[in-house]
Amino acid sequence: MKLSFKKISVFLVLTYLIIGTYLSLNTGISHDEFHEQQNWSYNLQAIKDFFNTGEYASFLKFKDRYHGIGFHYISQPIQYLFSGFVEKIFQINEYGGLLISKHIAVFFIFFISGVFLFKIFKTINNDDNFAIISTGIYFLFPYLFGHSLFNPKDIPFLSVWVICTYYIIQLIKDFKNNNHVSLKSLLILSLFTAFLISIRTLGLLVLLQYLIFLIVFSETHKQNLFPIIIKQRKNLLIFFTSILLLTYILNPIFWHNPLEIINSVTWMGKYQQDICTTTLGKCMKALNLPASYYFIWFFFKLPIIVLFGLALYPFSEKKLSKNMFANFIIISLLITSISILAIFIVLRVAIYDELRHIMFLIPLIFIISLSCIYIYNKKIFVIFGILTSIFFIAENISINPYQYTWMNSFAKLYDINKNFEVDYWGISNKVLSNQIKKDYKNKEFKKNNCIYGGQYADVFLQSHGFTCFKSYSELDSAIEKPYYVIKNVRNIKRSNPKDCQLVKNETFKYLFDVRAVSAGSLWYCN
């Protein structure tokens, strides 16, 4: 029976990996992907300049010089390996093949994060059913699954944070059982910590999580923290030295001056001051966010089962305290999540596009919540866990490829189009570009006529002979007709182009909601 169970589990995991990879290659291109590739190009040139001349003056003028490139060290080889294949199979231009190939790397690192999350669940409660169902909910959660198909920054950061969390738990577990800290384990943790910081400077906050874990462990296990630190001072010195050295190596911007890390933190903390995010009908500015912003988005984005689990925490606390180590993990993660949110609110850190910049907290919240439900009542957990997984599968099918816009059933009580940000990534560009290939044959449109809006429409149309692509902002000065107009991203909320006919309104519907959510539209102007 156990062997059969393992075979079924392996089959489901492989099926998930294959389907996820396929879907990642069939989605559109988000607006961040161009900027991320550009960021790599500037950094790569800076690396070459630094080794050739010892300086990189032009790189220091680059606006996004503080954007980390850690994930690129993994994704770029994969991109160049598969880009030619993707370009031919999907009939897109060369640059598009390079960008879409990155989706493979993004989905794969998300998949790896699920493996480590499974291990964390097993550490909390040594129960296969609990770990499998919990990981299944994580893998199938439409919001994270949707982002895992393309998001080149937030998903890698989230995934490596999960890996770091696993290793700090294991390191403390080893100390608890053996009263010894392995130097090898510390070096592994230092590597992933530096890698996390190299993806986004915000990764420095994981050091706060480590400190919280140590303090909570000392309190829950009646261990005096100071003697432990004194005893492990050599290992800790090696640990922090390794982090500093690896962080320096992985971030070219620090090479000319290691103190640039201070500028990096300051710059990224107030980045993109002009962007606002529609939240319950209000346009909330990134640099002037009310504290309610975070809780509104968490309330509408987290699955109801997770909100239920958080509400159960006070009722499961007594049962949880019987498992001392599990209790230590849950309390540590809870304090970590609250502390990081408090820092963001107090320091007025700029975030936008709903939860993308604090997405890394979601797996931590999942661990807390699902553990509370399981500890409170195993039967309730199994029943609602399986039902939630089935619902997520259906929802993923229903709203593909817009899973990343997913909102829970509470949000469906509102008009989502008017009250919330929807397709700010612009993934509808692929569908709307493909519609042009079908539609133009019945119009007077020639392939050298212009297409306005629709970021990266050239990726999908250039290889089919279309030659003129202009930004949506250039539409105001458009003179020569006919032309097509693609409305997506934030342009979706602007007024429709004058004297034009609607060709396609790209919409999707959440389950149990009859109202269509608009992801973009295509217009023909003659």
Q: Calculate the average pLDDT of the chain.
A: 93
In this predicted model, what pLDDT tens digit does every residue of 280-335 receive, in sequence order?
Answer: 999 999 888 999 999 999 999 999 999 999 999 999 988 888 889 999 999 999 99
Phi and psi of 500, rounded to 5°?
-130, 155
CA–CA gap between residue 317 and residue 55 (Å, rounded):
56
Going by pLDDT thresholds of 50, 70 and 90, the confidence category of residue 507 is very high
Going by pLDDT thresholds of 50, 70 and 90, the confidence category of residue 4 is low
Going by pLDDT thresholds of 50, 70 and 90, the confidence category of residue 273 is low
Mutual angle of helices 324-346 and 154-178, in 10-degree steps: 140
- Polymer length of the chain: 526
Instruction: State the pTM of this model.
Output: 0.95
- Which pLDDT value is given to residue 136? 96
- Which pLDDT value is given to residue 156? 98
- Which pLDDT value is given to residue 317? 85
Q: H or E segment at 353?
A: none
CA–CA gap between residue 489 and residue 471 (Å, rounded):
12
In this predicted model, what pLDDT tens digit does every residue of 404-456 receive, in sequence order?
Answer: 999 999 998 899 988 998 877 889 999 999 999 999 999 999 999 999 998 78
Of 138 and 472, the structure prediction assigns the larger pLDDT to 138
CB atoms within 10 A of CB 221: 13
Q: Could you tell me the end-to-end alpha-carbon distance of the chain, in angstroms, rounded to an integer?
A: 67
Going by pLDDT thresholds of 50, 70 and 90, the confidence category of residue 3 is low
CA–CA gap between residue 268 and residue 276 (Å, rounded):
16
Question: Is the per-residue pLDDT at 32 higher than 60?
Answer: yes
- Which pLDDT value is given to residue 275? 82
Going by pLDDT thresholds of 50, 70 and 90, the confidence category of residue 1 is very low
Question: Is the per-residue pLDDT at 7 higher than 80?
Answer: no
- Which pLDDT value is given to residue 5? 64
**Structure token digits, residue 377:** 């009542």
DSSP string computed for 438-457: HHGGGSS--TTSEEEE-TTH
| Angle, CA of 511, 512 and 518, to the nearest 5° | 60
- Nearest CA to 74 out of 193, 186, 184, 198 is that of 198
In this predicted model, what pLDDT tens digit does every residue of 186-201 receive, in sequence order?
Answer: 999 999 999 999 999 9
Within 8 A by CB and 6+ apart from 110, the residues are 20, 144, 148, 155, 158, 159
In this predicted model, what pLDDT tens digit does every residue of 104-149 receive, in sequence order?
Answer: 999 999 999 999 999 999 999 999 999 999 999 999 999 999 999 9
Share of the chain above pLDDT 90, in %: 80
Complete edge-to-edge strand list for the sheet that includes strand 483-487: 468-470, 450-453, 483-487, 517-525, 500-508
CB atoms within 10 A of CB 506: 24
At residue 484, the 3 state secondary structure works out as strand
